[in-house]
Amino acid sequence: MKIWNFTPPPESDLGDHDVPLLGDHLVGLRVAMLVTGGIAAMKAPLIARALRRQGAQVVAFLSDEALRYTTIDTLAWSTNNLVITHLTPAAEHLSDQAPFDLYLVAPATYNTINKMRYGIADGVITTTLASALGRMEQGKTKIMIVPTMHGSLHNSILTESLKTLHQMSVAIMPPREDYGKHNLPSEQDITVEVCRLVSRSLLRGMNILVTGGPTPVLVDSIRRITIVLVDNWV
């Protein structure tokens, strides 16, 4: 164990709510982070800060069930914005005055996914998603969901709903599979997928050849094999 000399931390230019910028992929973009009632909601504050490290402005929408696993104060501190837990005459679900570039549902529970597929709008999350789907169909926003749930909940109803949402152009991030469950991926992986989805790069979708120097393997005195890596630019 390292011995601490009990000195105060060095001063920083960052304020209490600030985060260090690690990139600019999301600068100028507004993200609505919709948090539903799964245990993975405890990681929502970390996701919010990871998005902000790429320059995003994040506003959290929180269901009543999600409040069992995280708190309003934690998300308000993490996003540096007021948290929306219910709808008022200001019509927060419409966000006409300050529209969102992306709606991120993380975690996305069985209940929310199926309600979203069938157009049920009975709470702050599902009503906001109903409006988001309309905006997405008009080409004004994007939606990404991150399913998390116990393996026994992955039934034919869920599969049908996921396929339908995929056909509607809702982006569905594969969960992290462990211990018989669909688990929430790391906040870094979620942020990378968000950056891919909203990328404005002129190189998006193009094949890029990356080499790190020759790696030839001799077959005989004339022929040789070398390794080439090809990936898609985000």
Complete DSSP assignment for 134-196 = HHHHTTS-EEEEEE-EEGGG--HHHHHHHHHHHHTT-EEPPPEEETTEEEPPPHHHHHHHHHH
Residues of the chain with pLDDT > 90: what percent? 80
178-225 per-position pLDDT tens digit? 999 999 999 999 999 999 999 988 887 788 877 766 677 788 877 887
As beta bridge partners, residue 231 has 208
Residues of the chain with pLDDT > 70: what percent? 95
pLDDT category, 144, cuts 50, 70, 90? Answer: very high
The helix (run of H) or strand (run of E) holding residue 196 is: helix 187-197
Please state the separation of Cα 96 from the chain's center in Å.
22
Dihedral of the alpha carbons of 218, 220, 221, 225, in degrees to the nearest 10: -30
CA angle 115, 79, 170 (to 5 degrees): 30
Asked whether 17 and 80 are in contact (CB, 8 A), the reply is: yes
Helix (H, G, I), strand (E, B) or coil at 229: strand
98-113 per-position pLDDT tens digit? 999 999 999 999 999 9
Residue with tokens 């193009």: 206
**Domains of the chain: residue spans and CATH:** 30-197 (3.40.50.1950)
